[in-house]
Amino acid sequence: MKIKKFFSSQKFIVFVWVLGIAVIWEIFAFIVAATKRTPVNVLPHLWQIIEAFFSDKKVSGKMTMAELIGTACQETLLRAAIGFAIGTVLGYLLALLMNLSRIVEKIAFPYLMLIQMIPILGMAPIILSITGDINTSRIVIAAILTFYPVSANTLAGFKAVEQEKCELMYSYASSRFQLYTKTLIPSCIPYFFTGLKISAPMAITASILVDTLQGGNGLGCMLSQSLKGGMTRLVFWDIVLISAIIGILSYQVMGLIEKLICPYKRTKKAD
């Protein structure tokens, strides 16, 4: 029974997935190593990527791989975080407004959908010409990508509140403000976090992608320099790996914050 439980547990499933991906990666890496002339450019072994990250060899100027990626991460993540925060606040406020007023909802919702459909790299030049500054553009784009999932999910959360809850509030002769603070806003927290969990990795991805458009010290800048041959190709691979890890972590962090805010979710039914 205990063994069965372990094999169906979340941890085990994650373990199997990671192992599976690693095995497939390595199979292809061996094939590539045997057939291509510069295997590192196509698909290096996982251990080469990890080894490169911890090695003391300077990859750019005086910096080792870890130092290089560390500073690049700081820049990119800071921009992603600022954009994410702005997008979250604005997205939440718009959801609130849309729920308060049907007219706002009818006008704003189609635009929300539209923004969602424009590819980031198509949006970037437009934003750049408006803001005139690449770093501001990177923040703005992270914000735009965060905005839609947060707004749409929060609005769905407001709509999903049981009608009876609102009727109870009505029967207590509550004010509209109380209806929101006591019932609607707390009810939609899980939906809000669904939005955050979707948009956190998106904000980071967007930030890295827009980095590649122009120079600077961000992750994406290093990534494209490495691809262009300005640095060893392993910089590229290390950044890919690290970005994936950061993306997953950002999702996990949102889940963790949600659990801290909603302790009732952790309580189990007492039979």
Partner 1 sequence: MDERTEIMLDNIGMTYKTNDGRDVTALTSVTLDIRKGEFISLLGPSGCGKTTLLRIIADLLTPTQGNISVGGETPRQARLKQRYGIVFQSAVLYDWRTVRKNVMLPLEIMHVPKEERIDRADKMLELVGLSDFANHFPGQLSGGMQQRVGIARALAIRPEILLMDEPFSALDEFTREKLHDDLLRIWRKTNKTVVFVTHNISEAVYLSDRVCVLSPHPGRLSAVVDIDLPRPRTAQLKSTPEFTALVAKVRSSFEGV
| Binds partner 1 (CB under 8 A): choice among 16, 50, 121, 168 | 168
Does 178 engage in binding with partner 1 (CB under 8 A)? yes
Q: How far apart are CA 250 and CA 108, in angstroms?
A: 28
The residues pairing with 64 across neighbouring beta strands, listed in sequence order, are 58
**What SS3 class is residue 212?**
coil
Q: How far apart are CA 235 and CA 48, in angstroms?
A: 11
Q: How far apart are CA 76 and CA 91, in angstroms?
A: 22
The residue (of 90 and 179) whose beta carbon lies closer to partner 1 is: 179
| Binds partner 1 (CB under 8 A): choice among 134, 150, 155, 169 | 169
Does 189 engage in binding with partner 1 (CB under 8 A)? yes
Could you tell me if 154 and 146 are in contact, meaning their C-beta atoms sit under 8 angstroms apart? no
DSSP state, residue 270: -
- To partner 1, the closest distance from the beta carbon of 33 in angstroms equals 54
Q: What are phi and psi of 214, to 5 degrees?
A: -135, 180
- To partner 1, the closest distance from the beta carbon of 176 in angstroms equals 12
- To partner 1, the closest distance from the beta carbon of 90 in angstroms equals 25
| Binds partner 1 (CB under 8 A): choice among 64, 174, 214, 224 | 174
Does 171 engage in binding with partner 1 (CB under 8 A)? yes
Name the segment binding partner 1 (CB under 8 A); options: 139-147, 183-191, 208-216, 240-248.
183-191
| Binds partner 1 (CB under 8 A): choice among 173, 228, 229, 260 | 173
| Binds partner 1 (CB under 8 A): choice among 8, 10, 129, 267 | 267
- Long-range CB pairs of 43-49, under 8 A, 24+ apart, other chains included: 44/233, 44/234, 44/237, 46/22, 48/234, 48/237, 49/234, 49/237, 49/238, 49/241
- To partner 1, the closest distance from the beta carbon of 149 in angstroms equals 22
Interface contacts to partner 1, rule CB under 8 A: 162, 164-165, 167-174, 178, 182-183, 186-187, 189, 262, 264, 267-270
